[in-house]
Amino acid sequence: MTEQPKFQRRKRRGAVTPAERPVAVESNRPDPSVAELKALLEEKEALLQRKAELEAERLRDAEQVAQRAEDARKAKAEEAKKAAAAAPKTPLVLASAPPRTPAARPVHDHEAIWQSIDRFPLDAQRLADRNVITALRRDPAHTRFDILRTRMLQALAENGWKRVAITSPTKDCGKTFTAANLAISLSRQENCRTVLLDLDMRSPSLHKIFGVSDTGAIGDMLRGKIAPEHHLQGFAQNSMSAGSHVAIGFNGIVEPYAAELLQDPSTKEALHEIETQFEPDVMLFDLPPALLNDDVIAMRPHVDALLIVAAGGMTKANDIKETERRLGDNIPLLGVVLNKAEQTETGDYSY
């Protein structure tokens, strides 16, 4: 066997057979076409172009805002320059600051309030028939009410009081009769403003004495549903010299929860409003009998002084003492009016 050269052997050993050659692996991903690549490039180019347009628009807006601010600053500076040029060269120096003038307070016309209330006619004979003896002044006993009026006004003025509660221990003692006579007597007192309220809301009767049918409900006024100047009524011009500065709060509606209403804060506010609007010198409260219910006790915080009406031959001394005890020691007693006491000198009533 012929020996082959060494280089041929090395060549043969390094040769690769067809079976040993690497085989190319075919990919399943399709090659992108030229049209698709072109579309992607165009879309990218459009996005870049839109971005550039938005940025340019933002820059324009910022420049406009800056320009407007600059224009405003220049205009303000120009106005300040003109104001400085118009100002006097030498400033005015005051030796002292001018005194401050307080703002004028609105003036409340009390007289206009009195003139604005509704008025009702007075029938002197009707009042006389209902024992309002101060109307015609034919009964000599009317002088007792004038004395009571004067003494009461003096006591109120000396102590700074205004509000007087008129009550009785039991019913049928004549407390409403006393309140009506006092109101007419007070109306003849010059420069005296009087407010009389029918607060016997369980059995209102003051309107019957004066013959008033359009009474309204005093409970609505106490609750703040109606202003006092729209509820209170005064005397119309009359022939018996009853003055125009008496305002009466009538009541034609029975109030079943009178004590609760008198204790309600709205009652306090309503009474304060009456004092503010009318500036009365005297406020008379015709209250129910003290021993029948708790209305008088409920009214106690709103009262400055007390007037008790007793019936001669009917009211007992213990009833008067019990009335004083229920009202407490902090309410001064102006006096006890003795009603229905027969006297030959002054008529049927003694005070």
Question: What is residue 330's predicted lDDT score, i.e. its pLDDT?
Answer: 87
User: Residue 29: which pLDDT band, with cuts at 50, 70 and 90?
Assistant: low
- Residue 72 CA to residue 78 CA, distance in Å, equals 10
Question: What is residue 66's predicted lDDT score, i.e. its pLDDT?
Answer: 84
pLDDT above 70 (res 40): yes
Which residue has tokens 């180019």? 45
* Cα 166-247-224 angle, rounded to 5 deg: 85
Question: What is residue 86's predicted lDDT score, i.e. its pLDDT?
Answer: 72
Beta bridge partner(s), residue 163: 283
Residue ranges per structural domain of the chain: 111-339
- Residue 234 CA to residue 251 CA, distance in Å, equals 14
Percent over 70 (pLDDT), the chain? 81
Find out whether 166 and 175 touch, Cβ atoms under 8 Å.
Answer: yes
Tokens for 180?
């009506």
Find out whether 258 and 202 touch, Cβ atoms under 8 Å.
Answer: yes
Beta-carbon contacts of residue 338 (< 8 Å; ≥ 6 apart): 310, 312, 350, 351
pLDDT above 60 (res 189): yes
Beta bridge partner(s), residue 285: 165, 197
Question: What is residue 349's predicted lDDT score, i.e. its pLDDT?
Answer: 39
Q: Write down the H helix ranges in the chain.
A: 6-14, 34-86, 110-116, 124-129, 142-159, 175-187, 206-210, 218-222, 228-231, 258-263, 265-278, 295-299, 317-327
Element of type H or E holding 311: strand 305-311
pLDDT single digits (tens) 133-184: 888 888 888 899 999 999 999 999 999 999 999 999 999 999 999 999 999 9
Find out whether 273 and 300 touch, Cβ atoms under 8 Å.
Answer: no
Question: What is residue 44's predicted lDDT score, i.e. its pLDDT?
Answer: 83
Handedness of CA 329, 330, 335, 336 (dihedral sign): negative
pLDDT single digits (tens) 89-128: 555 555 555 566 655 545 568 899 999 999 999 998 999 8
Tokens for 262?
């008198």
Q: Specify the pTM.
A: 0.68
User: Residue 25: which pLDDT band, with cuts at 50, 70 and 90?
Assistant: very low
Which homologous superfamily does the CATH classification assign to the domain defined by 111-339?
Answer: P-loop containing nucleotide triphosphate hydrolases (3.40.50.300)
pLDDT single digits (tens) 293-351: 999 999 999 999 999 999 988 999 999 999 999 888 889 999 999 987 655 344 443 43
pLDDT above 80 (res 220): yes
Question: What is residue 70's predicted lDDT score, i.e. its pLDDT?
Answer: 86
> How many beta carbons lie within 10 A of that of residue 191, not counting itself?
7
Find out whether 165 and 301 touch, Cβ atoms under 8 Å.
Answer: no
- Residue 173 CA to residue 179 CA, distance in Å, equals 12
